[in-house]
Amino acid sequence: MPKVKMPRKSTAIDMTAMCDVAFLLLTFFMLATKFKPDEPVTVVTPSSINTTLLPDSDVLLFTVDKDGRVFFSMDGQPKRKKLIEDLNTQYKLGLDDKEIKSFVTGASVGAPIKDLKQYLSLSEDERKKSGLDKGIPTDSANNELGAWIEYGVAAQGGSIAKLKYCIKADNQTPYPKIKEILDTFKKKHIQKLNLVTNLEEAPKGTAAWEEANAPKK
């Protein structure tokens, strides 16, 4: 009687197709992800129980570091271009194309307007070393923050209603600085502001916690 030979089948599968899928997804996520823009200063934001998300667009973001230096940033390259061109004409800064491009593609800026030409001609690393990034002046004698707000609003074009004003300040920022900034907004008749915070859970037993954990009807 002849022996019945079962053909030995390998249990291994071809992984190539799975690998293709994995890398396709990887490429998609890498391309679709917007990296956090490089910030000139590190800011540790306080936490709150608020869950409202920071919008991606139509935002004027004012970053305040722990020494109270104020930096300005805005999304949208066409808007940034309009903003810097307006500033250039108004303050007669004499910026050349390279410096305008540096502002349009860059992240935050924080320098007095008169130093803006020199500031924009430097690279990000050089700015830190040169000590030019002393922040936007907010004191009442020379309140350039107001000007930045005005030009930022003007650069929005039609979508002013959607515009949000965000303040991202460090835990250690002294309160008088925050007050100066809030007062500046108040003077511009901007009442609705957003403070950037981290999420933290509402403490147990409080009104907010009970609301969040209320049994669903």
Partner 1 sequence: MAEMDTSSSGGGKKHGGTKSKKQSTRVDMTPMVDLGFLLITFFMLTTTMSKPKTMDLIMPKDTENEKDQNKVKESTALTILLGKDNRVYYYEGLAQDPNASANPDFFKATSFANTGGIRDEIIRKRDEVAKLRNAKGEPEDVVVIIKADDQANYKNFVDILDEMAINRIQRYATVDISDQDKKWIQSTEAANGVQSTPAAPPAK
Residues near partner 1 (CB under 8 A) are: 10, 12-16, 18-19, 22-23, 25-26, 29-30, 33, 36, 45-54, 64, 164, 166, 168-179, 182, 185-186, 189-199, 202-203, 206-209, 211
CB of 74 to partner 1, least distance (A): 16
Residue 206 has which token pair? 């409080």
Tell me whether residue 58 is exposed, middle or buried, using C-beta atoms within 10 angstroms of its C-beta: 0 to 12, 13 to 18, 19 or more. Answer: middle
- Residue 151 or 185: the one with the smaller Cβ distance to partner 1 is 185
CB of 93 to partner 1, least distance (A): 31
CB of 101 to partner 1, least distance (A): 28
Residues in CB range of 128: below 8 A, 6 or more apart? 40
**168 in helix, strand or coil?**
strand
Residue 206 is classified by DSSP as S
CA distances from 112 to 16, 39, 96, 175 (A): 57, 18, 18, 21
Tell how strand 70-74 and strand 47-48 pair up.
unpaired
- Residue 114 or 179: the one with the smaller Cβ distance to partner 1 is 179
- Residue 97 or 211: the one with the smaller Cβ distance to partner 1 is 211
- Residue 130 or 206: the one with the smaller Cβ distance to partner 1 is 206
- Residue 35 or 125: the one with the smaller Cβ distance to partner 1 is 35
**60 in helix, strand or coil?**
strand
Contact 103, 74 (CB under 8 A): no
CB of 8 to partner 1, least distance (A): 14
Residue 165 has which token pair? 């004003």
CB of 125 to partner 1, least distance (A): 24
Between CA 19 and CA 209 the distance in angstroms is 45
